[in-house]
Amino acid sequence: MAIKEEEKEEVREPLMAVEDGSSAHEYSKDNPWMVYLSTFVAVCGSYEFGTCAGYSSPTQSAIREDLNLSLADYSLFGSILTFGAMIGAITSGTIADLIGRKGAMRVYTAFCVTGWLSIYFAKEALALDIGRLATGYGMGAFSYVVPVFIAEIAPKNLRGLLTASTEFMNCAGVSVSFIIGNVLTWRALALVALIPCAVLLFGLSFIPESPRWLAGRHKEFEASLQKLRGKDADISHEAAEIQDYITTLEQLPKAKLLDLFQKRYLRSIIIGLGLMVCQQFGGINGICFYTSSIFESAGFSPTLGTIIYAIIQVMVTGLGAAVVDRVGRKPLLLAHELALQASPILAVTGIMLYIGSFSAGMGAVPWIVMSEIFPINIKGQAGSLATLMNWFGAWLCSYSFNFLMAWSSYGTFIFYAAVYVMAILFIITVVPETKGKTLEEIQAAINV
């Protein structure tokens, strides 16, 4: 699958020409209302992600009582979501490449609908677990395709803001599930979770497909780009830039999994996987899943602590989304890492500092960068690999947290702090700033 050195040089020249030629050119003023509408429709998938993640916490006692489940039964129901998400991560890139970003979102929505209906009609543990596995699949796949779709349709000056809105909607879905789950029955909450699925399926009929996915189909590509930029916008330069870059990539062999580790792609793979390791192995899912017990052991009201936690998470995530295109990706990542160094020596305040800084930086930014750095010819395979790494880390962190805390609560947080010290070094030395650049400029600079 390797290509000759002279062929590599021929490919690199137009890649860098894209970067040099486009940096001085600003796209004509356009009307981004279709970009906003398309983003709103897509992030319904991110909100659905949040409803899946937030469902099991407020429903635990009611489901166990109604269906006579043991603690082990319910633990399986809660954790099987992550295994479904890992399966979704493995297949998400391939499906999105084969049938398009919109087609993939329809498939993943169908999994979520099937899963919620299985949970709603469940009379025993098996139906619950099948439903949870199906919603987990959709959840894991949405975590890849939604930020990728938004990054591919957004102009460079809005890309960070709009892609970061995925994390904001994740947090909103979790928070709303926590709140209304204390009022509704667990079956009613499953039906409510179908609402974002319905909005997503309906909205997909009115928004265009990603123009970068359509780049090989000239008329459809231009129609999609024109619809996104506005009927009076001049899309000639942007269209030519995308088409030239896609044409250049088509000279390369079709990437297979092992090809991702070729020298030309190695930096983007290291960045994508490295950020996912930094995000998950710093303990975020262990702390999220066991927030109540942490507050309780610190002598603080678990109910009040969880409410404050949810409010801070949504507010800070929204703030981070609003400023990511102004301050850049790296400053938010580094601000998060530095803030977390104080967390091990604090209890309640440390948790609030932890989740606030995580929501502003490490929660959303790795997904933004992941959606930006991979060229279209490896995006499916590389994006699936990065998403799989994220979900494996989520499972490992949540599984190991109680064991680590039983060993030493202080040692657990020291370990997480050490992970973030290494993350600071990784971000400073390896991760590029992508603010204000087109996808073609970013990918040309990294993958050469």
pLDDT tens digit sequence for 14-31: 444 444 444 434 444 567
What's the CATH class of domain 32-249?
Answer: mainly alpha
- pLDDT tens digits, 334-367: 655 555 544 444 456 777 777 777 777 787 788 8
Which of these, 441, 368, 361, lies nearest to 160 by C-alpha position? 368
pLDDT at 109: 97
> Average per-residue pLDDT in the chain?
81
- pLDDT tens digits, 159-192: 888 888 888 898 889 888 878 887 899 999 999 9
- pLDDT tens digits, 421-433: 898 899 889 988 8
Phi/psi for 401 (5° steps) reads -60, -50
Same fold, 32-249 and 365-447: yes
Report which residue type is found at 103: G
pLDDT at 209: 95
Please say whether the beta carbons of 80 and 137 come within 8 A: no
Which of these, 204, 90, 187, lies nearest to 136 by C-alpha position? 90
Indicate the pTM of the whole model.
0.76
* Residue whose structure tokens are 């009307």: 31
- pLDDT tens digits, 68-107: 988 788 878 877 888 899 999 889 888 998 999 999 999 9
Phi/psi for 363 (5° steps) reads -65, -45
- pLDDT tens digits, 253-312: 666 777 788 888 888 999 999 999 988 888 877 776 666 666 766 677 766 776 777 777
Which of these, 283, 247, 222, 254, lies nearest to 381 by C-alpha position? 254
* String of DSSP letters for 337-403: HHHGGGGGG-SHHHHHHHHHHHHHTTTTHHHHHHHHHS-TTTHHHHHHHHHHHHHHHHHHHHHHHHH
Show me where the domains of the chain are located: 32-249, 365-447
Identify the architecture of domain 365-447 in CATH: Up-down Bundle (1.20)
